[in-house]
């Protein structure tokens, strides 16, 4: 009997490749999102450090120009944080969308895998029946020869 060959193996291979591509895309999007989160955290630390320096300088006598410089730094940091938070929301939406794409691709592959398993089981049952038939024919032939010889 010929070996088992899944009838949709080319489609399964293609869907596996698509799934891997989508997973890689998801990993890249998550990496981008994580980078934005790290940048926000860095800016928040910078804001806190600038605030600490301002309070330290206020204990000493500082000029209005120096205070204005600190205010400019605070405004700049706030604007950057706001910008990155907007980018973060966009990145999170992209990640969520890509997760849905990966889930859909995974379900397609899973469905094909189940179909392959079912076809393999049917093939194995068919092979077992064929083997049983061959054995029965062998035994029948042997018994027939023995009965003719007796």
Residue 146 inside a domain? The answer is: no
Output the CA angle 19-22-26, nearest 5 degrees: 135
Residue 20 inside a domain? The answer is: yes
Residue % of the chain over a pLDDT of 90: 72
| pLDDT tens by residue, 80-126 | 999 999 999 999 999 999 999 999 999 999 999 999 999 999 989 98
Residue 75 inside a domain? The answer is: yes
Residue % of the chain over a pLDDT of 70: 98
Residue 78 inside a domain? The answer is: yes
| pLDDT surpasses 80 at 7 | yes
Residue 137 binned pLDDT confidence (cut-offs 50, 70, 90): confident
Residue 145 inside a domain? The answer is: no
Residue 30 inside a domain? The answer is: yes
| pLDDT surpasses 80 at 9 | yes
Residue 126 inside a domain? The answer is: no
Residue span of the structural domain in which 97 resides: 9-110
Output the CA angle 92-98-103, nearest 5 degrees: 130
> Regarding predicted confidence, which is higher, 20 or 3?
20
Question: What is the count of structural domains for the chain?
Answer: 1
| pLDDT tens by residue, 25-39 | 999 999 999 999 999
Residue 90 inside a domain? The answer is: yes
Residue 1 binned pLDDT confidence (cut-offs 50, 70, 90): low
Per-residue tokens: 79: 């604007």
| pTM confidence score | 0.75
Dist CA 115 CA 8 (whole Å): 9
């Amino acid at each position: 009997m010929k070996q088992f060959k899944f009838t949709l193996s080319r489609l399964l291979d293609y869907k596996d490749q698509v799934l891997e591509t989508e997973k890689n895309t998801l990993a890249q999007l998550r990496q981008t999102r994580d980078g934005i989160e790290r940048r926000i955290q860095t800016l928040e630390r910078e804001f806190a450090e600038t605030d600490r320096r301002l309070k330290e300088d206020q204990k000493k006598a500082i000029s209005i120009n120096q205070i204005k410089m600190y205010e400019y730094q605070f405004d700049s940091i706030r604007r950057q944080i706001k910008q990155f938070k907007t980018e973060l929301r966009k990145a999170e939406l992209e990640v969520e969308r890509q997760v849905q794409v990966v889930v859909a691709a995974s379900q397609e592959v899973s469905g094909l895998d189940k179909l392959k398993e079912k076809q393999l089981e049917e093939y194995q049952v068919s092979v077992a029946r064929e083997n049983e038939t061959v054995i029965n024919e062998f035994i029948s032939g042997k018994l027939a020869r023995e009965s003719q010889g007796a």
